[in-house]
Amino acid sequence: MDGKRVLVTGGAGFIGSNLANHLAESNDVIALDDGYLGKPENLDDAVEFVEASVLDDDLPVDVDLVFHLAALSSYAMHEENPHRGAEVNVDGFVNVVEQAQKAGCDTLVYASTSSIYGNRTEPSPEDMDVEARTGYEASKLARERYAEYYSNFYDMSAAGMRFFSVYQGYGGSEEHKGEYANVIAQFADDMANGESPVLYDDGTQTRDFTHVDDIVQGLVVAAEERLDGIFNLGTGESYSFNTVVEMLNDELGTNIDPEYVENPIPDDVYVHDTMADISKIRDATGWEPGITFEEGIERVCQQYQ
């Protein structure tokens, strides 16, 4: 993608800043963020930073395409204030897209979530039945329906990307997320500092861990191909938390046992296992992840070596 004017909402956050920095190499990029978690320090100088909320009027939407990543992006964030969660995740989405389409933008790529698949040890295809067990999941499903409306009514291309467990490590721009960072980043930092990583229950839960660089490439190809509909971004492989600790020990040269604690998240909403079926986006665009989990673990640990 070259020579485009691009808006990235949530652009100073973890995934947003990685995307904005990548795009700014050959495009005019605006990163919009309200600073709830995002930090402008995550952004390269080539990115124009605008501190604003997705709920504001007069957003910088005179662009060729919008990547809408801004959200209260976890169960915990949303449940702390469900009304605020719906306001940001749903009203904010509608506000940004409404302003963008009125300004002539016809290409939208936005963040949904894989949480709606629930517990799955088999690959989850986009067309399987899903349900909302939390307010966070409900807000992301609402986005998908509103995107469907904008696609049908305004002839916009609207690609909803269901991210699986995205990681980079604290050597990148994930550190600002703190307790909301991916468990790989948190475990690695604890272990590199001689502390035991804290695992819920027995550590057998699994995730389809996907490196942020692959997520960025998936977002870009979705925009370039003007995809419309829902697409998974994952790897099709899953690893348990216990396995993550073992691999981190091997890479860091440590021998640290995890600490197991009771899961504070209710069983009926906690997602124990995830795995993506990526055949839809692979068939549509040729995209597939390029970073193996072993290489991803190496990258996470590089800053400690």
CA 164 to chain centre: 7
Here the tokens at position 297 are 């673990």
CA 285 to chain centre: 20
Angle between helices 241-252 and 183-192 (to 10 degrees): 40
The C-alpha atoms of residue 162 and residue 140 are separated, in whole angstroms, by 9
Note whether 54 and 92 are within 8 A (CB): yes
The C-alpha atoms of residue 115 and residue 133 are separated, in whole angstroms, by 9
- Tokens 């209260």 map to which residue? 72
CA 48 to chain centre: 21
Here the tokens at position 184 are 């790989």
Q: What amino acid positions are annotated as catalytic residues?
A: 136
